[in-house]
């Protein structure tokens, strides 16, 4: 692997460890030319199967592109979107599957998006969950309210638990 700093064509692994959820290997590398260190992550490949049957490599950029429209005019920055896409990827990878339907990616976006911005969440959910009546919106809003009223829920997602 090329050194990201000086483009030296080789690097040396100085440390290797498995990520907490076991879905990736993290390697610390050192460049023998400039001596700087960098980290690489090794994942199994994750394919998204689209409705057309075509499969493509999972991409955080596509996740972000999918929710950007729902976030229009909302106080959601690029950093927020990047972080959300990372959460979505981690959530999907923690299932340990090699393939996932595009619809399931959409569903995996809902929860982190709800934590990010409730209006964007409602917009996105209305498309993804096919809201077709006021009642659908009302029940989604009611569940957001119930959650808010139940105080600061200590949602620490720990799939191992
Ligand atoms: Zn280097």
What is the gyration radius of the CA atoms in the chain, in angstroms? 19
Per-residue pLDDT reduced to its tens digit, 30-87: 999 999 999 998 888 899 999 899 999 999 999 999 999 999 999 999 999 999 999 9
Task: Look at the pTM and tell me if it is higher than 0.75.
Answer: no
- Report d(CA 106, CA 154) in Å as an integer: 24
In this structure, what are the phi and psi dihedrals at residue 156, rounded to the nearest 5 degrees? -115, 95
Q: Could you tell me whether strands 99-101 and 47-49 are parallel, antiparallel, or unpaired per DSSP bridges?
A: parallel
Q: What is the pLDDT of residue 151?
A: 64
Ligand 1 centroid, distance to 121 Cα (angstroms): 43
Q: Is pLDDT above 70 for 160? A: no
Ligand 1 centroid, distance to 89 Cα (angstroms): 29
Ligand 1 centroid, distance to 134 Cα (angstroms): 58
């Amino acid at each position: 692997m090329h050194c990201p700093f000086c483009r030296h064509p080789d690097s040396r692994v100085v440390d290797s460890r498995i990520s907490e959820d076991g879905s990736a290997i993290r390697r610390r590398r050192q460049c023998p030319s400039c001596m700087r260190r960098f980290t690489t992550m090794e994942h199994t490949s994750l394919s998204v199967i689209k409705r057309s049957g075509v499969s493509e490599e999972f991409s955080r950029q596509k996740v972000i592109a999918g929710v950007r429209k729902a976030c229009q005019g909302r106080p959601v920055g690029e950093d927020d979107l990047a972080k959300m896409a990372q959460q979505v990827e981690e959530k999907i990878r923690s299932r340990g599957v090699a393939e996932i339907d595009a619809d399931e990616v959409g569903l995996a976006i809902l929860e982190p998006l709800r934590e990010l911005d409730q209006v964007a969440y409602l917009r996105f959910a209305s498309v993804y969950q096919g809201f077709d009546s006021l009642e659908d919106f009302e029940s989604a809003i009611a569940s957001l309210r119930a959650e808010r009223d139940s105080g600061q829920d200590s949602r620490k997602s720990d799939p191992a638990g």
